[in-house]
Structure 1
Amino acid sequence: MRNTLRRICELQPSYSSENTHEMQERGRLVRQDLVRDIRALREPLARALGTFGRDFFVEGSDGIGRKTELAWTRFCSEEMSPRPTSGFYVVLHFSTDGSGVNIAVGCSSSKFHNGYSIVLPLDELDKRCEWAREIVLEDHGSLRSFTDLNDFGARAKLPKSFERACALVKKIAYDDIEDDVVERHLVESAEMLRSIYSAQRLGRELSPADQTELDILDVTRPASNVRKGQGFGLNAKERQAVELRAMDVVEDWLRTQGYRLSDTSATKPYDFEAKKEGETLFVEVKGTTSDKADSIAMTHGEVALHRREKGRTALMIVTSIRLQKDAVQPKASDGKLETLIRWNIDDWLLEPTAFRLSRKAAV
């Protein structure tokens, strides 16, 4: 691998968007030789990825048509990132001045939202990278040696977006490129990628509304395979465990506030009827494993209630619920509670997710 990486670095200063002799050689190196070299490390890298190493996948590209400033080779779980335009992965980029190779834990510049994959604005891309860093820091206690700048010298718009999508970067200077050094940092990056995949698998990245939309798309467009690469995979038992945990968190809080409660979740379009000092609140509970809840999903009946009883309803959102997966009895714990007492639903943006279509009665 040492010779492959060093040779790519040597070719970088000769970059051209045209298919020159140097660019032909660089293309062969990133698409064939480096892919082969990383595949040769499948055993330690797959082991570092844990269960996500079972479908270990490697590919490289030097541009489609015209050559790109930042040729790349990446590895990942194929299920979690079936394309470079979806999910997280480890990617090798080369500084444009040939000064070294950059091993990065990066992500696609697009994300599932409102039922489809959308290109993220730069500020949202930055937030996605920050989320990944927070997950790694939480899991490992540090970012290890992956604290270098995501500045590889790119000038064109698309390569600049490649840089922006790199959350964690370790630059290895040309003179320091040795097989053992590269392998050590690749294993480090794979361990960090595993942490991110695990968080995605628990639904920590997608908003509650996006999680619900994935379920809807599974029913309305089963052949689309849109769930692949989104990383979210809670089953019915796991969702129920999350919902029950959210109910417990909200019930405890309401009782400490002096409310007398009736659980109405099975019979009404709200979860609790809470009474205190002659006041009655209709309480809606939303629980999620997501680390944030910028959007939620509601049924037609729930929306109608919050509009009809405006000033007498409460929205309780419990985020960051931690789930211990178990095929028989998954367990949910923790959770951060946001309380919106007498909230105004009209302060939120209401967007249709799906429609129920019924045949008109025959005349």
Structure 2
Amino acid sequence: MHETLERICQLQPQYSAENTPAMQERGRLVRSDLKIELDGLRPRLAAALAPFGSDLLVEGSDGIGRKTELPWVRFCSRNMSPNPTEGFYCVTHFSTDGSAVHVTVGCGSSRFHKGSSVPLPDHELDVQTDWARRVVIEQFGTLVPFDDPADFGARRPLPISFQRATAISRRIAYSDIRTTDFDELFDQAAQRLRPIYAAQSIGRDLTDADQRELEIAAALSPLDRPAGRQGYGLSAAARRAVEKRAMEVASQFLRSKGYAVRDTSASYSFDFEATLSGKPIKVEVKGTTSDRADGILMTTNEVELHRSEKGGTALIIVSSIRLSEQNGVYSGSGGNVEWLLGWDIDGWVHEPTAFRVTRPPLTRRLLTS
């Protein structure tokens, strides 16, 4: 493998978008030789990915049609990342000047939203990579040894997006290729990809709204589930545990702020009536396993309440709730609180998730006559 990596680096300064002899050789090395060498590590990489290693995918590319500045070879769970534009994966890049090899974990440039995959704008890509870094730190306590800048020297838009989509990176200088244990390095990268997949499998990378949309899409079209999300979807019991934990956290939070709290969730379209200095407010509580609190799903009645009584309502979002299960019984723990007093619902973007479509009564009568 060392010779292959060195030779690709040597060919990088000869980059051309045309299929020159140098680019033909580079393409063969990336798409065939290096891919085969990574395939030889399949048992080790599959073990490092644990439950996500059973469908290990290894593939490489030097560009479709015109050649790319940044050829790459990646490995991943086929289910979690069916193609390079979706999900997270371990990917090897090469500096454009041939000065280094970069072993990284990065993500595709699209995400699930409103039932399908859509391109990620730069700020969303930054959110995704930042989220992945936090998951790795949560698991390992540090990004080391994958804490190098993701700077591959790219100059063209698509290769630049590869850099932006990199969550963690280890740079190996050309002079250090021969002395680097790449088998161990790829194993370490796979170990860091595993907790990212585990977090994705319970929807931690999706907003609460996206989680619910995914569940709705799966219910409406069970044979057309988005790739990489086949295992995701909270059961009714798990969802109840999340909601119960959110209510507990929200109640504790309100009481810590001096509010008298009355649970109204069984009778009204809001969860708590919270009173401070004789002034009551209506509080809506949303709980989620997601680490992102920037999108929620609301019923028509909830929306109408916050609009009709604007200024007299509040929203509490409890994110990052963790679920545990024992003998089929779920319980929730943790949770981060976001408190929006006097919430202006019209300051948020509203998007329809699904429509209830009902046949008019007259049409029903005609059909049965």
Q: Which residue of the partner structure matches residue 238 of structure 1?
A: 238
How far does residue 186 in structure 1 lie from its aligned partner after superposition? 0.8
Tell me, in whole angstroms, the C-alpha distance in 2 between the residues paired with 1:46 and 1:331.
31
How far does residue 260 in structure 1 lie from its aligned partner after superposition? 4.3
2:67 partner amino acid: K
Q: How does 1:105-254 map to 2 (within 5 A)?
A: 105-178=105-178, 181-226=181-226, 228-229=228-229, 232-254=232-254
Q: Compared with structure 1, are the counterparts of its residues 61 and 342 closer, same or farther at alpha carbon in structure 2 (3 Å cutoff)?
A: same
Q: Which residue of the partner structure matches residue 103 of structure 1?
A: 103
How far does residue 44 in structure 1 lie from its aligned partner after superposition? 1.8
Q: Which residue of the partner structure matches residue 264 of structure 2?
A: 264
Tell me, in whole angstroms, the C-alpha distance in 2 between the residues paired with 1:290 and 1:56.
26
SS of 2:223's equivalent in the other structure is helix
Q: How does 1:1-363 map to 2 (within 5 A)?
A: 1-178=1-178, 181-226=181-226, 228-229=228-229, 232-326=232-326, 328-362=328-362
Listed as ranges, the gaps of 5+ residues in structure 2 are 364-369
Tell me, in whole angstroms, the C-alpha distance in 2 between the residues paired with 1:226 and 1:9.
37
Q: How far does the alpha carbon of each residue in 1:28-83 deviate from its partner, in whole angstroms, 9 at most, with x for none?
A: 22112211111111122122212211221111111111111111110011111111
| CA RMSD after TM alignment | 2.1
Contact 1:86 1:230 in 2 (8 A): no
How far does residue 346 in structure 1 lie from its aligned partner after superposition? 2.1
How far does residue 202 in structure 1 lie from its aligned partner after superposition? 2.6
Contact 1:282 1:313 in 2 (8 A): yes
How many equivalent pairs are there? 363
SS of 1:243's equivalent in the other structure is helix
Tell me, in whole angstroms, the C-alpha distance in 2 between the residues paired with 1:224 and 1:174.
45
How far does residue 321 in structure 1 lie from its aligned partner after superposition? 1.0
2:131 partner amino acid: W
Tell me, in whole angstroms, the C-alpha distance in 1 between the residues paired with 2:327 and 2:207.
24
Contact 1:87 1:229 in 2 (8 A): no
- The normalised TM-score by structure 2 is 0.91
SS of 1:317's equivalent in the other structure is strand
How far does residue 264 in structure 1 lie from its aligned partner after superposition? 3.1
2:115 partner amino acid: G
Q: Compared with structure 1, are the counterparts of its residues 228 and 40 closer, same or farther at alpha carbon in structure 2 (3 Å cutoff)?
A: same
Contact 1:200 1:231 in 2 (8 A): no
Q: Which residue of the partner structure matches residue 366 of structure 2?
A: none
Tell me, in whole angstroms, the C-alpha distance in 2 between the residues paired with 1:263 and 1:283.
10
Q: Compared with structure 1, are the counterparts of its residues 227 and 65 closer, same or farther at alpha carbon in structure 2 (3 Å cutoff)?
A: closer
Q: How far does the alpha carbon of each residue in 1:148-187 deviate from its partner, in whole angstroms, 9 at most, with x for none?
A: 2211122211111111111111111223224861112111
SS of 1:339's equivalent in the other structure is strand
How far does residue 233 in structure 1 lie from its aligned partner after superposition? 3.7
1:41 partner amino acid: L
How far does residue 116 in structure 1 lie from its aligned partner after superposition? 2.9
How far does residue 316 in structure 1 lie from its aligned partner after superposition? 1.2
How far does residue 227 in structure 1 lie from its aligned partner after superposition? 5.4
How far does residue 351 in structure 1 lie from its aligned partner after superposition? 1.8
1:248 partner amino acid: E
1:74 partner amino acid: R
1:238 partner amino acid: A
1:353 partner amino acid: T
How far does residue 21 in structure 1 lie from its aligned partner after superposition? 2.1
Listed as ranges, the gaps of 5+ residues in structure 1 are none
SS of 2:213's equivalent in the other structure is helix
SS of 1:148's equivalent in the other structure is coil
Contact 1:202 1:232 in 2 (8 A): yes
Bigger shift: 26-35 or 267-276?
Answer: 267-276
SS of 1:216's equivalent in the other structure is helix
Identical-residue share of aligned pairs (%): 55
How far does residue 224 in structure 1 lie from its aligned partner after superposition? 2.4
Tell me, in whole angstroms, the C-alpha distance in 1 between the residues paired with 2:228 and 2:308.
39
Contact 1:45 1:53 in 2 (8 A): yes
Tell me, in whole angstroms, the C-alpha distance in 1 between the residues paired with 2:84 and 2:135.
21
SS of 1:321's equivalent in the other structure is strand
1:182 partner amino acid: F
2:95 partner amino acid: S
